[in-house]
Chains A and B, each alone.
Chain A
Protein backbone atom coordinates (compact mmCIF):
# COMPACT_ATOMS: atom_id res chain seq x y z
CA UNK A 1 0.00 0.00 0.00
CA UNK A 2 1.31 3.42 -0.90
CA UNK A 3 0.57 6.23 1.54
CA UNK A 4 1.18 9.86 0.67
CA UNK A 5 1.38 12.27 3.59
CA UNK A 6 0.94 15.98 2.88
CA UNK A 7 3.35 17.93 5.07
CA UNK A 8 4.34 21.54 5.41
CA UNK A 9 7.36 23.39 6.68
CA UNK A 10 6.26 26.17 9.04
CA UNK A 11 8.10 28.87 10.98
CA UNK A 12 9.36 27.54 14.29
CA UNK A 13 6.94 28.39 17.11
CA UNK A 14 9.91 29.91 18.92
CA UNK A 15 10.60 32.47 16.20
CA UNK A 16 8.66 35.72 16.08
CA UNK A 17 6.12 35.06 13.34
CA UNK A 18 5.10 38.03 11.24
CA UNK A 19 3.34 38.84 8.03
CA UNK A 20 5.48 40.95 5.69
CA UNK A 21 3.81 44.35 5.27
CA UNK A 22 4.97 44.59 1.65
CA UNK A 23 4.09 41.20 0.17
CA UNK A 24 1.39 40.59 2.79
CA UNK A 25 2.68 37.04 2.99
CA UNK A 26 4.00 35.20 5.98
CA UNK A 27 7.67 36.01 6.53
CA UNK A 28 9.39 32.68 5.88
CA UNK A 29 12.95 33.91 6.20
CA UNK A 30 13.45 32.13 9.53
CA UNK A 31 14.28 28.42 9.57
CA UNK A 32 11.30 26.20 9.04
CA UNK A 33 10.36 23.11 11.01
CA UNK A 34 8.00 20.27 10.20
CA UNK A 35 4.45 21.42 11.03
CA UNK A 36 4.02 19.68 14.42
CA UNK A 37 0.51 18.48 13.52
CA UNK A 38 1.89 16.67 10.44
CA UNK A 39 4.04 14.44 12.67
CA UNK A 40 0.78 12.72 13.72
CA UNK A 41 -0.08 11.99 10.09
CA UNK A 42 3.42 10.62 9.41
CA UNK A 43 3.26 8.49 12.56
CA UNK A 44 -0.09 7.04 11.48
CA UNK A 45 1.28 6.24 8.02
CA UNK A 46 4.31 4.50 9.52
CA UNK A 47 2.10 2.44 11.82
CA UNK A 48 -0.05 1.28 8.90
CA UNK A 49 3.12 0.43 6.96
CA UNK A 50 4.54 -1.48 9.93
CA UNK A 51 1.29 -3.34 10.53
CA UNK A 52 1.05 -4.52 6.94
CA UNK A 53 4.79 -5.04 6.62
CA UNK A 54 4.88 -3.54 3.15
CA UNK A 55 4.26 -0.42 1.15
CA UNK A 56 5.76 2.99 0.94
CA UNK A 57 5.32 6.30 2.77
CA UNK A 58 5.98 9.36 0.63
CA UNK A 59 5.89 12.91 1.95
CA UNK A 60 4.40 15.46 -0.45
CA UNK A 61 4.84 19.16 0.10
CA UNK A 62 4.55 22.54 -1.56
CA UNK A 63 7.04 25.18 -0.49
CA UNK A 64 10.42 26.79 -1.10
CA UNK A 65 13.48 24.53 -1.48
CA UNK A 66 14.55 25.48 2.01
CA UNK A 67 11.44 23.68 3.28
CA UNK A 68 13.34 20.39 2.87
CA UNK A 69 15.34 21.18 6.01
CA UNK A 70 12.20 21.03 8.12
CA UNK A 71 10.51 18.19 6.26
CA UNK A 72 13.56 15.96 6.56
CA UNK A 73 12.42 15.22 10.11
CA UNK A 74 9.66 13.12 8.54
CA UNK A 75 12.30 11.04 6.74
CA UNK A 76 14.18 10.70 10.03
CA UNK A 77 10.99 9.37 11.62
CA UNK A 78 10.90 6.67 8.93
CA UNK A 79 9.15 7.94 5.80
CA UNK A 80 10.72 6.62 2.58
CA UNK A 81 11.02 9.70 0.37
CA UNK A 82 9.95 13.29 -0.28
CA UNK A 83 8.40 15.06 -3.25
CA UNK A 84 8.63 18.82 -2.82
CA UNK A 85 6.90 21.06 -5.33
CA UNK A 86 9.05 24.15 -5.43
CA UNK A 87 8.65 26.88 -7.99
CA UNK A 88 8.82 30.68 -7.91
CA UNK A 89 5.47 30.68 -9.70
CA UNK A 90 3.93 28.76 -6.78
CA UNK A 91 4.80 31.37 -4.16
CA UNK A 92 1.86 33.05 -2.46
CA UNK A 93 -0.60 30.23 -3.18
CA UNK A 94 -3.87 30.45 -1.27
CA UNK A 95 -6.11 27.47 -0.59
CA UNK A 96 -7.49 27.07 -4.08
CA UNK A 97 -4.03 27.36 -5.68
CA UNK A 98 -2.29 25.17 -3.08
CA UNK A 99 -4.90 22.45 -3.49
CA UNK A 100 -4.42 22.56 -7.26
CA UNK A 101 -0.64 22.12 -7.13
CA UNK A 102 -0.78 19.47 -4.40
CA UNK A 103 -3.46 17.50 -6.25
CA UNK A 104 -1.29 17.52 -9.37
CA UNK A 105 1.67 16.17 -7.40
CA UNK A 106 -0.54 13.58 -5.68
CA UNK A 107 -2.01 12.36 -8.97
CA UNK A 108 1.50 11.32 -10.02
CA UNK A 109 1.98 9.37 -6.81
CA UNK A 110 -1.29 7.50 -7.20
CA UNK A 111 -1.37 6.62 -3.49
CA UNK A 112 -4.00 4.34 -1.96
CA UNK A 113 -4.29 6.64 1.01
CA UNK A 114 -3.53 10.36 1.25
CA UNK A 115 -3.06 11.61 4.81
CA UNK A 116 -3.15 15.17 6.14
CA UNK A 117 -2.34 16.64 9.55
CA UNK A 118 -4.94 18.41 11.66
CA UNK A 119 -3.94 21.91 10.65
CA UNK A 120 -0.95 23.93 9.54
CA UNK A 121 0.26 25.84 12.60
CA UNK A 122 0.82 28.95 10.50
CA UNK A 123 -2.57 29.07 8.79
CA UNK A 124 -4.84 27.24 11.22
CA UNK A 125 -7.04 26.58 8.22
CA UNK A 126 -7.80 22.94 8.83
CA UNK A 127 -9.53 22.80 5.46
CA UNK A 128 -7.00 22.06 2.73
CA UNK A 129 -7.79 18.32 2.54
CA UNK A 130 -11.37 18.94 1.47
CA UNK A 131 -10.22 20.94 -1.55
CA UNK A 132 -7.61 18.32 -2.46
CA UNK A 133 -10.10 15.45 -2.06
CA UNK A 134 -12.51 17.21 -4.41
CA UNK A 135 -9.79 17.70 -7.03
CA UNK A 136 -8.70 14.07 -6.74
CA UNK A 137 -12.35 12.97 -6.78
CA UNK A 138 -11.83 10.77 -3.76
CA UNK A 139 -13.85 10.21 -0.59
CA UNK A 140 -12.78 12.19 2.44
CA UNK A 141 -12.80 11.65 6.20
CA UNK A 142 -11.46 14.54 8.32
CA UNK A 143 -10.72 15.18 12.02
CA UNK A 144 -10.00 11.48 12.51
CA UNK A 145 -9.01 10.53 16.06
CA UNK A 146 -9.02 6.76 15.41
CA UNK A 147 -8.22 5.13 12.08
CA UNK A 148 -8.40 1.54 10.89
CA UNK A 149 -7.40 0.29 7.49
CA UNK A 150 -8.75 -3.09 6.54
CA UNK A 151 -8.50 -4.58 3.10
CA UNK A 152 -9.87 -2.08 0.68
CA UNK A 153 -11.44 0.43 3.06
CA UNK A 154 -10.67 2.89 5.85
CA UNK A 155 -12.78 3.67 8.89
CA UNK A 156 -12.31 6.83 10.90
CA UNK A 157 -13.84 8.06 14.12
CA UNK A 158 -14.10 11.80 14.43
CA UNK A 159 -15.52 14.41 16.73
CA UNK A 160 -18.06 16.95 15.55
CA UNK A 161 -20.03 19.55 17.50
CA UNK A 162 -22.62 16.87 18.23
CA UNK A 163 -20.53 13.92 19.34
CA UNK A 164 -18.61 11.23 17.50
CA UNK A 165 -19.22 9.98 13.96
CA UNK A 166 -17.68 6.82 12.56
CA UNK A 167 -17.25 7.03 8.81
CA UNK A 168 -16.13 4.41 6.34
CA UNK A 169 -14.73 4.97 2.87
CA UNK A 170 -13.34 2.73 0.15
CA UNK A 171 -9.69 3.14 -0.88
CA UNK A 172 -8.27 5.18 -2.48
CA UNK A 173 -9.29 7.85 0.03
CA UNK A 174 -8.19 11.07 1.69
CA UNK A 175 -7.99 11.20 5.49
CA UNK A 176 -7.06 14.09 7.79
CA UNK A 177 -6.05 13.00 11.29
CA UNK A 178 -6.39 14.85 14.59
CA UNK A 179 -3.46 15.40 16.93
CA UNK A 180 -5.01 12.99 19.45
CA UNK A 181 -4.66 10.00 17.10
CA UNK A 182 -1.21 8.96 18.30
CA UNK A 183 1.99 10.05 19.98
CA UNK A 184 4.53 10.69 17.20
CA UNK A 185 7.87 8.91 17.62
CA UNK A 186 11.09 10.84 18.00
CA UNK A 187 13.57 10.27 15.19
CA UNK A 188 16.38 7.97 16.28
CA UNK A 189 20.00 8.94 15.71
CA UNK A 190 20.14 6.28 13.01
CA UNK A 191 17.00 7.72 11.45
CA UNK A 192 18.49 11.20 11.40
CA UNK A 193 21.72 9.95 9.83
CA UNK A 194 19.82 7.91 7.23
CA UNK A 195 17.39 10.70 6.31
CA UNK A 196 19.89 12.64 4.23
CA UNK A 197 20.37 9.68 1.89
CA UNK A 198 16.68 9.07 1.18
CA UNK A 199 15.26 10.31 -2.15
CA UNK A 200 14.24 13.97 -1.99
CA UNK A 201 12.77 15.08 -5.27
CA UNK A 202 12.36 18.76 -5.90
CA UNK A 203 9.91 19.23 -8.76
CA UNK A 204 8.66 22.29 -10.63
CA UNK A 205 5.08 23.02 -11.61
CA UNK A 206 5.92 21.97 -15.17
CA UNK A 207 7.33 18.65 -13.88
CA UNK A 208 3.97 17.77 -12.37
CA UNK A 209 1.97 19.03 -15.32
CA UNK A 210 0.55 22.01 -13.44
CA UNK A 211 -0.23 25.29 -15.20
CA UNK A 212 1.73 28.14 -13.65
CA UNK A 213 -1.25 30.48 -13.97
CA UNK A 214 -3.35 28.31 -11.65
CA UNK A 215 -0.76 28.21 -8.86
CA UNK A 216 0.88 30.86 -6.72
CA UNK A 217 -0.41 34.36 -6.55
CA UNK A 218 -1.70 34.20 -10.13
CA UNK A 219 -3.93 31.25 -9.29
CA UNK A 220 -5.07 32.58 -5.93
CA UNK A 221 -8.58 33.86 -5.47
CA UNK A 222 -8.16 35.64 -2.16
CA UNK A 223 -6.22 38.76 -1.23
CA UNK A 224 -5.08 40.47 1.93
CA UNK A 225 -5.95 44.18 1.92
CA UNK A 226 -4.62 45.54 5.19
CA UNK A 227 -2.82 44.36 8.30
CA UNK A 228 -3.13 45.81 11.76
CA UNK A 229 -2.08 44.75 15.24
CA UNK A 230 -4.83 43.39 17.49
CA UNK A 231 -6.02 45.51 20.41
CA UNK A 232 -3.63 45.15 23.35
CA UNK A 233 -4.80 42.82 26.10
CA UNK A 234 -3.59 44.86 29.03
CA UNK A 235 -1.04 43.82 31.64
CA UNK A 236 0.23 40.32 31.47
CA UNK A 237 3.03 38.61 33.30
CA UNK A 238 5.06 35.58 32.28
CA UNK A 239 7.49 34.00 34.71
CA UNK A 240 9.82 31.01 34.70
CA UNK A 241 9.24 28.75 37.67
CA UNK A 242 12.16 29.17 40.06
CA UNK A 243 10.54 26.99 42.71
CA UNK A 244 8.20 29.73 43.92
CA UNK A 245 5.58 29.57 41.16
CA UNK A 246 2.86 28.22 43.48
CA UNK A 247 3.43 31.11 45.92
CA UNK A 248 3.37 33.60 43.05
CA UNK A 249 0.08 32.23 41.74
CA UNK A 250 -1.50 32.55 45.19
CA UNK A 251 -0.21 36.14 45.53
CA UNK A 252 -1.56 36.97 42.05
CA UNK A 253 -4.99 35.52 42.82
CA UNK A 254 -5.09 37.44 46.10
CA UNK A 255 -4.16 40.67 44.37
CA UNK A 256 -6.94 40.08 41.83
CA UNK A 257 -9.31 39.31 44.73
CA UNK A 258 -10.10 35.93 43.23
CA UNK A 259 -9.63 33.96 46.45
Chain B
Protein backbone atom coordinates (compact mmCIF):
# COMPACT_ATOMS: atom_id res chain seq x y z
CA UNK B 1 0.00 0.00 0.00
CA UNK B 2 1.14 3.48 -0.83
CA UNK B 3 -0.15 6.17 1.49
CA UNK B 4 0.00 9.94 1.19
CA UNK B 5 -0.65 12.15 4.23
CA UNK B 6 -1.52 15.84 3.90
CA UNK B 7 0.77 17.74 6.27
CA UNK B 8 -1.01 20.96 7.23
CA UNK B 9 1.13 23.90 8.23
CA UNK B 10 0.12 26.37 10.93
CA UNK B 11 2.24 29.37 11.86
CA UNK B 12 5.30 28.02 10.09
CA UNK B 13 5.12 24.57 11.68
CA UNK B 14 3.82 21.18 10.66
CA UNK B 15 0.54 20.68 12.47
CA UNK B 16 0.71 18.07 15.26
CA UNK B 17 -2.59 16.52 14.18
CA UNK B 18 -1.33 15.69 10.70
CA UNK B 19 1.95 14.36 12.13
CA UNK B 20 -0.21 12.05 14.28
CA UNK B 21 -1.93 10.72 11.18
CA UNK B 22 1.49 10.37 9.53
CA UNK B 23 2.73 8.31 12.50
CA UNK B 24 -0.29 6.06 12.11
CA UNK B 25 0.19 5.77 8.35
CA UNK B 26 3.79 4.65 8.95
CA UNK B 27 2.44 1.73 10.98
CA UNK B 28 0.09 0.65 8.21
CA UNK B 29 3.14 -0.57 6.34
CA UNK B 30 4.09 0.00 2.71
CA UNK B 31 5.31 3.28 1.31
CA UNK B 32 4.45 6.43 3.24
CA UNK B 33 4.76 9.94 1.90
CA UNK B 34 3.76 13.37 3.13
CA UNK B 35 2.86 16.49 1.20
CA UNK B 36 3.50 20.05 2.40
CA UNK B 37 1.76 22.87 0.54
CA UNK B 38 2.16 26.61 1.02
CA UNK B 39 4.51 29.50 0.51
CA UNK B 40 7.92 29.42 2.18
CA UNK B 41 7.24 25.95 3.55
CA UNK B 42 10.00 23.96 1.81
CA UNK B 43 12.14 24.01 4.94
CA UNK B 44 9.48 22.15 6.90
CA UNK B 45 9.39 19.10 4.67
CA UNK B 46 12.43 17.24 5.92
CA UNK B 47 11.18 17.30 9.51
CA UNK B 48 8.37 14.93 8.61
CA UNK B 49 10.91 12.12 8.15
CA UNK B 50 11.14 11.80 11.90
CA UNK B 51 7.45 10.86 11.99
CA UNK B 52 7.69 8.10 9.43
CA UNK B 53 7.55 9.74 5.99
CA UNK B 54 9.94 8.19 3.48
CA UNK B 55 9.30 10.92 0.94
CA UNK B 56 7.91 14.40 1.42
CA UNK B 57 6.56 16.25 -1.58
CA UNK B 58 6.67 20.02 -1.48
CA UNK B 59 4.56 22.53 -3.34
CA UNK B 60 6.03 25.90 -2.42
CA UNK B 61 4.52 28.79 -4.34
CA UNK B 62 3.31 32.29 -3.54
CA UNK B 63 -0.12 31.38 -4.98
CA UNK B 64 -0.44 28.75 -2.25
CA UNK B 65 0.19 31.10 0.65
CA UNK B 66 -3.39 31.37 1.99
CA UNK B 67 -4.86 28.33 3.69
CA UNK B 68 -7.51 27.74 1.00
CA UNK B 69 -8.56 24.28 -0.14
CA UNK B 70 -9.10 24.51 -3.89
CA UNK B 71 -5.53 25.10 -5.16
CA UNK B 72 -4.44 22.33 -2.80
CA UNK B 73 -6.88 19.97 -4.51
CA UNK B 74 -5.05 20.71 -7.77
CA UNK B 75 -1.66 19.87 -6.28
CA UNK B 76 -2.71 16.68 -4.48
CA UNK B 77 -4.81 15.40 -7.40
CA UNK B 78 -1.77 15.79 -9.64
CA UNK B 79 0.45 14.01 -7.16
CA UNK B 80 -1.93 11.12 -6.60
CA UNK B 81 -2.35 10.64 -10.34
CA UNK B 82 1.39 10.81 -11.00
CA UNK B 83 2.48 8.59 -8.12
CA UNK B 84 -0.47 6.22 -7.80
CA UNK B 85 -1.23 6.47 -4.11
CA UNK B 86 -3.71 3.94 -2.71
CA UNK B 87 -4.61 6.00 0.35
CA UNK B 88 -4.75 9.73 1.00
CA UNK B 89 -5.21 10.58 4.66
CA UNK B 90 -6.04 13.87 6.36
CA UNK B 91 -6.20 15.03 9.97
CA UNK B 92 -9.57 16.72 10.32
CA UNK B 93 -9.56 20.50 10.14
CA UNK B 94 -11.64 23.15 8.43
CA UNK B 95 -9.09 23.27 5.60
CA UNK B 96 -8.50 19.52 5.35
CA UNK B 97 -12.21 18.64 5.19
CA UNK B 98 -12.87 20.88 2.19
CA UNK B 99 -9.67 19.70 0.57
CA UNK B 100 -10.49 16.01 1.03
CA UNK B 101 -14.02 16.35 -0.34
CA UNK B 102 -12.87 18.41 -3.33
CA UNK B 103 -10.24 15.77 -4.04
CA UNK B 104 -12.85 13.01 -3.84
CA UNK B 105 -14.89 14.68 -6.57
CA UNK B 106 -11.83 15.42 -8.72
CA UNK B 107 -10.56 11.83 -8.56
CA UNK B 108 -13.99 10.11 -8.36
CA UNK B 109 -12.75 8.57 -5.13
CA UNK B 110 -14.51 7.56 -1.94
CA UNK B 111 -14.12 9.64 1.18
CA UNK B 112 -14.89 8.49 4.73
CA UNK B 113 -14.81 11.18 7.39
CA UNK B 114 -14.79 11.43 11.15
CA UNK B 115 -12.64 8.30 11.38
CA UNK B 116 -11.70 7.21 14.88
CA UNK B 117 -9.21 4.70 13.51
CA UNK B 118 -7.75 3.21 10.35
CA UNK B 119 -6.11 -0.18 9.94
CA UNK B 120 -4.84 -2.44 7.22
CA UNK B 121 -6.60 -5.78 6.78
CA UNK B 122 -5.60 -8.12 3.97
CA UNK B 123 -4.36 -5.33 1.76
CA UNK B 124 -7.50 -3.27 2.33
CA UNK B 125 -7.89 -0.15 4.42
CA UNK B 126 -10.63 -0.35 7.06
CA UNK B 127 -11.87 2.64 9.02
CA UNK B 128 -13.93 2.87 12.18
CA UNK B 129 -16.24 5.74 12.87
CA UNK B 130 -19.15 6.70 15.02
CA UNK B 131 -22.29 7.75 13.19
CA UNK B 132 -25.68 9.32 13.97
CA UNK B 133 -24.31 11.52 16.73
CA UNK B 134 -22.11 8.68 17.98
CA UNK B 135 -25.12 6.39 18.49
CA UNK B 136 -23.73 3.58 16.32
CA UNK B 137 -20.20 2.41 15.59
CA UNK B 138 -19.51 1.57 11.99
CA UNK B 139 -16.69 -0.17 10.13
CA UNK B 140 -16.25 1.42 6.75
CA UNK B 141 -14.27 0.62 3.63
CA UNK B 142 -13.66 2.00 0.17
CA UNK B 143 -14.44 0.71 -3.31
CA UNK B 144 -11.40 1.19 -5.50
CA UNK B 145 -8.52 3.57 -4.99
CA UNK B 146 -7.50 6.11 -3.99
CA UNK B 147 -9.18 5.82 -0.63
CA UNK B 148 -9.58 9.18 1.05
CA UNK B 149 -9.92 9.33 4.83
CA UNK B 150 -10.40 12.21 7.25
CA UNK B 151 -9.31 11.25 10.76
CA UNK B 152 -11.08 12.85 13.73
CA UNK B 153 -8.77 15.29 15.49
CA UNK B 154 -6.93 13.99 18.52
CA UNK B 155 -7.15 10.35 17.41
CA UNK B 156 -3.43 9.72 16.90
CA UNK B 157 -0.52 11.33 18.71
CA UNK B 158 2.57 12.35 16.74
CA UNK B 159 5.33 9.85 17.46
CA UNK B 160 8.91 10.74 16.68
CA UNK B 161 10.73 7.66 15.49
CA UNK B 162 13.74 9.41 14.04
CA UNK B 163 13.81 8.52 10.33
CA UNK B 164 14.67 10.87 7.53
CA UNK B 165 12.75 11.77 4.41
CA UNK B 166 13.72 12.42 0.83
CA UNK B 167 12.31 15.76 -0.30
CA UNK B 168 10.85 16.14 -3.79
CA UNK B 169 9.03 18.93 -5.56
CA UNK B 170 5.43 18.38 -6.53
CA UNK B 171 4.14 19.78 -9.81
CA UNK B 172 2.04 22.91 -9.35
CA UNK B 173 -0.65 23.31 -12.00
CA UNK B 174 -3.51 25.41 -10.73
CA UNK B 175 -6.94 25.70 -12.31
CA UNK B 176 -8.43 29.16 -12.83
CA UNK B 177 -11.46 28.46 -10.64
CA UNK B 178 -9.22 27.11 -7.88
CA UNK B 179 -7.46 30.42 -7.43
CA UNK B 180 -10.55 32.63 -7.79
CA UNK B 181 -11.30 32.76 -4.06
CA UNK B 182 -8.80 34.93 -2.18
CA UNK B 183 -8.06 35.61 1.45
CA UNK B 184 -8.80 39.28 2.13
CA UNK B 185 -7.92 39.49 5.80
CA UNK B 186 -7.17 37.37 8.78
CA UNK B 187 -8.12 37.93 12.36
CA UNK B 188 -6.05 35.76 14.64
CA UNK B 189 -8.15 35.35 17.77
CA UNK B 190 -6.29 36.46 20.85
CA UNK B 191 -5.27 33.56 23.02
CA UNK B 192 -5.62 35.53 26.25
CA UNK B 193 -8.70 35.51 28.39
CA UNK B 194 -9.87 33.01 30.95
CA UNK B 195 -8.21 29.63 30.69
CA UNK B 196 -10.88 27.02 30.43
CA UNK B 197 -8.39 24.20 30.02
CA UNK B 198 -7.26 24.15 33.64
CA UNK B 199 -10.61 24.64 35.39
CA UNK B 200 -12.10 21.70 37.32
CA UNK B 201 -15.58 23.04 36.84
CA UNK B 202 -16.89 24.45 33.58
CA UNK B 203 -20.19 26.17 32.99
CA UNK B 204 -20.71 26.28 29.23
CA UNK B 205 -23.21 28.62 27.61
CA UNK B 206 -24.80 28.09 24.20
CA UNK B 207 -27.23 29.89 21.96
CA UNK B 208 -30.05 28.91 24.31
CA UNK B 209 -28.89 31.72 26.62
CA UNK B 210 -30.65 33.93 24.08
CA UNK B 211 -28.40 37.02 24.13
CA UNK B 212 -24.86 38.10 24.97
CA UNK B 213 -25.98 39.78 28.21
CA UNK B 214 -27.45 36.50 29.49
CA UNK B 215 -23.94 35.07 29.75
CA UNK B 216 -24.12 36.81 33.13
CA UNK B 217 -26.16 33.78 34.26
CA UNK B 218 -23.38 31.40 33.25
CA UNK B 219 -20.81 33.64 34.94
CA UNK B 220 -22.77 33.75 38.20
CA UNK B 221 -23.11 29.98 38.25
CA UNK B 222 -19.42 29.52 37.47
CA UNK B 223 -18.48 31.97 40.20
CA UNK B 224 -20.46 30.27 42.95
CA UNK B 225 -19.05 26.88 41.88
CA UNK B 226 -15.50 28.21 41.60
CA UNK B 227 -15.32 27.36 37.89
CA UNK B 228 -14.83 29.03 34.51
CA UNK B 229 -17.18 29.84 31.63
CA UNK B 230 -16.93 28.16 28.24
CA UNK B 231 -18.96 28.54 25.04
CA UNK B 232 -19.98 27.09 21.68
CA UNK B 233 -19.05 28.15 18.16
CA UNK B 234 -22.55 29.49 17.55
CA UNK B 235 -22.23 32.10 20.31
CA UNK B 236 -18.63 32.94 19.42
CA UNK B 237 -19.59 33.48 15.79
CA UNK B 238 -22.49 35.64 16.96
CA UNK B 239 -20.02 37.76 18.93
CA UNK B 240 -21.59 36.94 22.33
CA UNK B 241 -18.44 35.51 23.90
CA UNK B 242 -14.70 35.35 23.13
CA UNK B 243 -13.20 32.68 20.88
CA UNK B 244 -10.72 31.77 23.65
CA UNK B 245 -13.64 30.14 25.50
CA UNK B 246 -14.90 28.02 22.61
CA UNK B 247 -15.00 24.28 23.18
CA UNK B 248 -15.01 21.78 20.33
CA UNK B 249 -13.52 20.77 17.02
CA UNK B 250 -12.34 24.25 16.10
CA UNK B 251 -11.90 25.38 19.70
CA UNK B 252 -10.42 23.90 22.85
CA UNK B 253 -10.57 20.42 24.31
CA UNK B 254 -11.45 20.36 27.98
CA UNK B 255 -11.58 17.63 30.62
CA UNK B 256 -13.08 19.19 33.77
CA UNK B 257 -14.44 17.13 36.65
CA UNK B 258 -17.81 18.78 36.10
CA UNK B 259 -19.30 20.29 32.93
CA UNK B 260 -22.63 22.07 33.09
CA UNK B 261 -24.14 22.94 29.69
CA UNK B 262 -26.72 25.72 29.51
CA UNK B 263 -28.77 25.97 26.32
CA UNK B 264 -26.37 23.84 24.27
CA UNK B 265 -27.72 21.41 21.68
CA UNK B 266 -24.64 19.17 21.87
CA UNK B 267 -23.67 18.97 18.19
CA UNK B 268 -20.93 16.45 17.47
CA UNK B 269 -18.40 19.23 16.83
CA UNK B 270 -19.00 20.54 20.35
CA UNK B 271 -19.02 17.08 21.88
CA UNK B 272 -15.53 16.18 20.63
CA UNK B 273 -14.16 18.98 22.77
CA UNK B 274 -15.85 18.07 26.06
CA UNK B 275 -16.67 14.37 26.03
CA UNK B 276 -13.76 13.69 28.39
CA UNK B 277 -15.48 15.61 31.20
CA UNK B 278 -15.98 13.64 34.42
CA UNK B 279 -19.64 14.43 35.05
CA UNK B 280 -21.90 16.12 32.50
CA UNK B 281 -25.03 18.04 33.52
CA UNK B 282 -27.15 19.82 30.93
CA UNK B 283 -30.17 22.07 30.87
CA UNK B 284 -32.05 22.33 27.59
CA UNK B 285 -35.71 23.02 26.90
CA UNK B 286 -35.77 20.63 23.95
CA UNK B 287 -36.07 17.06 25.23
CA UNK B 288 -34.65 15.77 21.92
CA UNK B 289 -31.41 17.77 22.10
CA UNK B 290 -28.46 15.45 21.35
CA UNK B 291 -26.61 16.60 24.48
CA UNK B 292 -29.01 14.48 26.56
CA UNK B 293 -27.56 11.37 24.90
CA UNK B 294 -24.31 11.92 26.77
CA UNK B 295 -25.34 13.76 29.92
CA UNK B 296 -25.16 12.11 33.35
CA UNK B 297 -27.96 14.39 34.47
CA UNK B 298 -30.17 16.00 31.86
CA UNK B 299 -32.77 18.60 32.79
CA UNK B 300 -35.50 19.34 30.26
CA UNK B 301 -36.48 22.86 31.18
CA UNK B 302 -35.96 26.59 30.78
CA UNK B 303 -32.52 27.70 31.91
CA UNK B 304 -33.82 31.21 32.60
CA UNK B 305 -35.93 29.94 35.50
CA UNK B 306 -33.66 27.11 36.67
CA UNK B 307 -30.24 28.79 36.73
CA UNK B 308 -31.11 31.80 38.95
CA UNK B 309 -32.64 29.40 41.47
CA UNK B 310 -29.64 27.11 41.28
CA UNK B 311 -27.29 30.03 41.92
CA UNK B 312 -29.40 31.08 44.90
CA UNK B 313 -29.40 27.58 46.40
CA UNK B 314 -25.64 27.21 45.96
CA UNK B 315 -25.01 30.63 47.51
CA UNK B 316 -27.18 29.70 50.50
CA UNK B 317 -25.09 26.56 51.02
CA UNK B 318 -22.07 28.84 51.34
Contact = CB atoms under 8 A, between A and B. Distances in A.
Contacts of B94: 142-143, 158-161
Contacts of B104: 95-96, 99, 131, 221
A154 to B, nearest CB: 9
Contacts of A240: 287, 300-301
Interface stretch (B36-44, B52-60, B124-132, B166-174): B124-132
Interface string B96-137: 011111111110111111100000000000100011111111
B180 A170 contact: yes
A227 B138 contact: yes
Nearest to B180: A139
A254 to B, nearest CB: 9
B181 A140 contact: yes
A149 to B, nearest CB: 14
Complex A-B, nearest 5 residue pairs according to Cβ-Cβ distance, in ascending order:
A241-B301, A221-B110, A180-B237, A130-B101, A246-B309
Per DSSP, are chain A's interface residues mostly helix, strand or loop, or mixed? mixed
A200 interface: no
* Residue in B109, B143, B298 whose Cβ sees the most chain A Cβ within 10 Å: B143
A47 B313 CA distance: 45
Contacts of A198: none
Interface in B138-186: 138-144, 150, 175, 177-178, 180-186
Interface residues of A, number: 83
B306 A166 contact: no
A239 B279 contact: no
Interface string B295-318: 111111110011101101110010
A89 interface: no
Contacts of A160: 67, 93-95, 250
Interface residues of B, number: 99
Contacts of B234: 178-180
B187 interface: yes
A130 B258 contact: no
B105 to A, nearest CB: 4
B189 interface: yes
Interface stretch (B27-35, B68-76, B79-87, B212-220): B68-76
* Residue in B113, B126, B294, B297 whose Cβ sees the most chain A Cβ within 10 Å: B297
B67 A235 contact: no
B238 interface: yes
Contact of B237 (A122, A178, A225, A234): A178
A167 B137 contact: no
Given A159-B236, A240-B300, A230 B137 contact: yes
* Residue in B105, B184, B267 whose Cβ sees the most chain A Cβ within 10 Å: B105
A122 B133 CA distance: 8
A227 B98 contact: no
Given A131-B101, A131-B104, A238 B306 contact: no
Interface of A: 13-14, 17-19, 26, 94-96, 99-100, 103, 122, 124-135, 137-143, 145, 155, 158-170, 173, 178-181, 220-230, 233-241, 245-250, 252-253, 256, 258-259
A122 B182 contact: no
Contacts of A180: 207, 233-238
Nearest to A236: B296
B143 A222 contact: yes
B105 A134 contact: yes
A126 B297 contact: no
A131 B108 CA distance: 10
B216 to A, nearest CB: 17
A225 B183 contact: no
B92 to A, nearest CB: 10
B165 to A, nearest CB: 25
B258 A245 contact: no
B131 A19 contact: yes
A228 B310 contact: no
A8 B130 CA distance: 21
15 contacts: A95-B104, A124-B268, A127-B97, A128-B101, A134-B101, A160-B67, A161-B250, A165-B185, A170-B180, A173-B181, A241-B305, A245-B309, A256-B296, A258-B258, A259-B314
Contact of A256 (B113, B207, B279): B279
Given A238-B300, A258-B279, A130 B108 contact: no
A258 B207 CA distance: 26
